[in-house]
């Protein structure tokens, strides 16, 4: 299933915290409702993502506190896509 949405990158508040995007609640609810059976440990689900022309294999995790899936953004991806915290951008996710 392919999902396209506008989002913002955020950083976890721990020192040296990882960077993430949160999938919209509506999309997360749909994924959880129909594909929860594909989750592995800690709510992890294999996925692919694309920002601009950069596409990569990754995973999303279900964050029970936020009640949504989150997707980590490694430094390599942030550099290739020139992402900045709290700036809107379009992305696609396949699960």
| CATH number of the domain to which 36 belongs | 2.40.30.100
Does 41 score more than 80 pLDDT? no
Q: For a pLDDT cut of 70, what percent of the chain falls above it?
A: 100
Residue numbers of the domain that contains 29: 2-94
pLDDT confidence band for 51 (50 / 70 / 90): very high
pLDDT digits (tens, 9 = 90+) for 4-23: 999 999 999 888 789 999 99
- Degrees to nearest 5, angle at CA 95 with 45 and 19: 60
List, in order, residues 6 or more apart from 3 with CB less than 8 Å away: 23, 27, 31, 92, 93, 94, 95
pLDDT digits (tens, 9 = 90+) for 54-69: 999 999 999 999 999 9
Domain count, the chain: 1
């Amino acid at each position: 299933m392919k999902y396209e949405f506008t989002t913002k990158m955020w950083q976890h508040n721990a020192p040296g915290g990882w960077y993430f995007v949160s999938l919209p609640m509506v999309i997360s609810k749909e994924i959880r409702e129909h594909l929860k059976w594909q989750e592995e440990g800690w709510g992890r689900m294999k996925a692919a993502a694309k920002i601009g022309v950069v596409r990569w294999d990754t995973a999303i995790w279900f964050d029970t506190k936020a009640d949504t899936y989150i997707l980590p953004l490694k430094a390599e991806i942030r550099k290739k896509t020139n992402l900045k915290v709290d700036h809107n951008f379009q992305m696609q996710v396949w699960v």
